[in-house]
Chain A
Amino acid sequence: MNLAHDPKLTRADHSEEIGFYEKRKGVFPRGSDGPFRRLKWAIMAFCLIVYWGTPWLRWNRGPYAPDQAVLVDLAHRRFYMFQIEIWPHEFYFVAGLLIMAGIGLFLVTSAVGRAWCGYACPQTVWTDLFQHVDRLIDGDRNAQIRLQNAPWTPAKIARRTFKWGVYLAISFLTGGAWIFYFADAPTLQREFWTGTAAPVAYATTAVLTFTTFWLGGFMREQVCIYMCPWPRIQTAMLDERSLTVTYKDWRGEPRGSVKAAAKRAEQGLDPLGDCIDCKQCIAVCPTGIDIREGPQIGCITCALCIDACDKAMADVGRPRGLIDYFTLEDADKVKRGEAPTPVLRTIFRPRTLVYFGVWAGIGVAMLFLLGSRTRLDLSVAKDRNPEYVMLSKGEVRNGFTVKLRNMEDRPRPVTLSIDGLPGGAIFTDEMDAALARTVLSVEVPADTTKRMRVYAIVPKGAKPAEFLFQIKALDKEGGQDSVRTTFTTAEGNGQ
């Protein structure tokens, strides 16, 4: 590249000091159309429909559980996702999902570069949405720039107020939708409008409305360039075989208009490159960069410049793909005159396959765990102080805190029994010690951990022993669990 023509270099003689701050350059992307624009439309529609629609899906779980398909019930510490219900102690499933999301991003980034940034990131989706609002209300790029530079006449004030009102409405819908994931959506909506919802619902809506309004409406690409750590991380995860949006400078340079090219041809000089310097790639860029300067932090690889360039190339009858998804390695190959690697070979290479293997392995392991997890659980905590109690007739009593966990959404009749304690019997703090026996019948309420005080008692002459507490479901699904614990007596306790 010819550096002498770069306007920034006029400061080489220090005649112009760099200021402490940089005024933000406005970005007014032109509307565009093309395969990538349509892909972005589709992904945006999908993301927004999923975001707004999910809390309203119903899912019948019977009378003892909420009927919302996806619900994060923080108050009762349950996470519902269709037929999966997760308890706090099963939070590793969520951790697993997060790890899968992380590795999924590694996978996507190493294969197709910053695809997350360009298509699916909420900042991108909502910025895109707000930029469409700009174009609908203010007109396309040139009209927007004109209005921006225009004085604050009543007409401009009215138009700005209207546009910011639309921003605010979208932001309110965005912030307001979030809370429905945390409570029954229809009920919460009624409460929300009648002013009876929890204060945290209003606070969350207010905060998220503000952040959407501010980040989507005004900060936009500044979030990607200055605030977000992810572009830095992704930049580090890209390698020379990742697909990135690339300007093929070997094909495009030196750039010049069709007229200039014809003129040079007449003069018998070296021909110009394919780039006609129409600046359409800059005009459509949502972050306001010039992709022809090479890969840069501001490029979210949304590929809108590919659409714009392809259109320009078609207009002047040159082949498409002057700007295209391309790898650095292929760029070097093509410059050397070799053929580029086929796209499939680029995507399916050891690095991406390893990422996919790890990602899929975790997924399969979680599915297996999900299928084999038990919904009935017993835990027994033996009293440590006192370890044992001597009773009048010489019997020895040990106290236990027993927890029966029924993770099904219905009450379950179970038996709690002991096995392997010679002469022993159990009773609870709610029954007479005289009724102690080896098997107790208990009804565990739906979706609950029932906590019981259970005493094991052994007649005079008791010896320390290891024994089992067992729980067995009596309903037709069945299921059981057991815990080995100890019975302590004076023997072996220094007495």
Chain B
Amino acid sequence: MANDKRIDEATGVETVGHEWDGIEELNNPLPRWWLWTFYASIVFAIGYCVVYPAIPGLHSATAGTSGWSSRGALAHEMKEADAERAGIRAEIAATPVEQLASNEKLLRASIEGGRAAFKVNCVQCHGAGAAGAKGYPNLNDDDWLWGGDIATIHQTLQHGVRQPGDDATRMSQMPAFGRDGILTPAQVQDVVSHVRVISGQEKPSGSSQRGAAIFAANCAVCHGGGGEGGRNVGAPRLNDAIWLYGGDRATLTETVTNARYGVMPAWGSRLDPVTVKMLAAYVHSLGGGEAAPAPAAAPAQAAAK
């Protein structure tokens, strides 16, 4: 091939001797600074291989003198992020949950932190949009079994619902009226008729009139005379449009016959206190959150007048 080298007439530069369909390559020399740059990059690469993990072995690569690893870098970044949040988390920890709302900055941080924690811990039952499902309450609406102010939500989160081993857990135990023989199947149907009448799903009938008497004797003690529910015992409101398990005749029959015992874990023993507060703030912010009940002192003052 070397014999094909020749001097290109137009430029006066030697060719490398290859030819492709009449196209030839000129053998222009590289500028010297370019070569220096090239050598410098080789030196840099050698240094890089020494300092950073580089040469692969069977199970791992050489460690490098700097001790850098991608896992280490992630751990470092996570630590930095935690350190960044430490201040506001300390503030939230020091603030009683019912006073979070009075501090805009803490409330915003809590809601966003709660949003993230909710996605990890709560969506399995309550759904990604907190809209719930059969047996799992919708947290967006204005209907609360135990109360919808932020402190009550926090209490429910902290201790769970029917959580074994937690003394302060939310506990409500409706009798299994049918299964335990308290009511006959016919009586259960009458009660169901009454409940469907007070919730506006049926017109009054003979069955519902019989049911009203049975309701007053067996149910009103917890659910209230008009079915308005009782939050102190977690008895659902029955005269509204919202049903945890369903308001149709078959589902109500099932509920009255066997009762329902839904369970929620006590998150206080699983998550740190700040995260539980954040979750309470987030759930409270979803659109159904209620204002805190009037302080206990108010009725006393009213009585004094």
Residues in chain A within 8 A of chain B (CB atoms): 3, 6, 8-9, 11-12, 14, 18-24, 219, 222, 226, 383-386, 389-394, 397, 399, 429, 433, 455, 460
Contacts and interface: CB of A to CB of B under 8 A. Distances in A.
B130 A21 contact: no
Interface string B283-304: 0010110000000000000000
A384 B240 contact: no
A223 B283 CA distance: 62
Interface in B252-297: 285, 287-288
B127 A385 contact: yes
A27 B6 CA distance: 29
B29 A392 contact: no
Contact of A389 (B28, B127, B140): B140
B141 interface: yes
A392 B143 contact: yes
A219 B285 CA distance: 63
B31 A24 contact: yes
A8 B13 contact: yes
Contacts of A433: 142
Contact of A385 (B131, B142, B237): B131
Query: Which of A11, A390, A393 has the most chain B CB atoms closer than 10 A to its own CB?
Result: A390
A21 B30 contact: yes
A121 B287 CA distance: 60
A405 B86 CA distance: 33
Contacts of A397: 140-141, 287
Interface in B117-146: 127-131, 138, 140-143
Given A384-B129, A389-B141, A392-B143, A429 B32 contact: no
Contacts of B141: 389-392, 397
B14 A391 contact: no
B33 interface: yes
Query: Which of A6, A9, A222, A386 has the most chain B CB atoms closer than 10 A to its own CB?
Result: A386
Given A389-B140, A392-B142, 15 more contacts: A11-B7, A18-B14, A20-B29, A20-B35, A23-B32, A219-B33, A222-B33, A226-B34, A386-B129, A386-B130, A389-B131, A389-B141, A390-B141, A392-B241, A460-B241
Contacts of B130: 386
B241 A393 contact: yes
Contact of A24 (B13, B33, B131): B33
B287 A455 contact: yes
Contacts of B241: 390-394, 460
Contacts of A219: 33
Contact of B31 (A9, A21, A399, A429): A21
B232 interface: no
A-B interface, 10 closest residue pairs, ranked by CB to CB distance from nearest = A385-B129, A386-B131, A8-B12, A392-B240, A22-B29, A394-B241, A389-B140, A386-B129, A21-B32, A21-B35
B2 to A, nearest CB: 8
Contacts of B242: 390-392
Interface string B1-39: 000011101001110000000000001111111110000
A54 to B, nearest CB: 33
A20 B241 CA distance: 88
Contacts of B6: 12
Interface of B: 5-7, 9, 12-14, 27-35, 127-131, 138, 140-143, 200, 237, 240-242, 285, 287-288
Given A14-B5, A392-B240, A460-B241, A386 B32 contact: no
Contacts of A399: 140, 287
B129 A12 contact: no
A386 B140 contact: yes
A384 B141 CA distance: 16
Nearest to B138: A389
A18 B27 contact: yes
A393 B131 CA distance: 17
Contacts of A392: 141-143, 237, 240-242
A9 B13 CA distance: 8
Given A19-B29, A22-B30, A393 B240 contact: yes
Nearest to B38: A21
A232 to B, nearest CB: 14
A37 B15 CA distance: 38
A22 B13 CA distance: 13
A394 B138 CA distance: 14
B12 A429 contact: no
A8 B237 CA distance: 102
Given A21-B35, A389-B140, A455-B287, A3 B9 contact: yes
Contacts of A394: 200, 240-241
Query: Which of A14, A383, A389, A455 has the most chain B CB atoms closer than 10 A to its own CB?
Result: A389
A18 B13 CA distance: 9
A383 B6 CA distance: 75
A397 B288 CA distance: 10
A168 to B, nearest CB: 20
A110 B27 CA distance: 31
Contacts of A460: 241
A21 B29 contact: yes
A394 B241 CA distance: 5
Nearest to B12: A8
B121 to A, nearest CB: 17
Contacts of B140: 386, 389, 397, 399
A14 B31 CA distance: 21
A391 B285 CA distance: 16
Given A385-B131, A399-B287, A11 B14 contact: yes
11 contacts: A12-B7, A22-B30, A24-B33, A222-B31, A226-B31, A386-B140, A391-B143, A391-B241, A391-B242, A399-B140, A429-B287
Nearest to B229: A392
B291 to A, nearest CB: 9
B30 A20 contact: yes
Nearest to A383: B129
B100 to A, nearest CB: 15
A216 to B, nearest CB: 15
A22 B7 contact: no
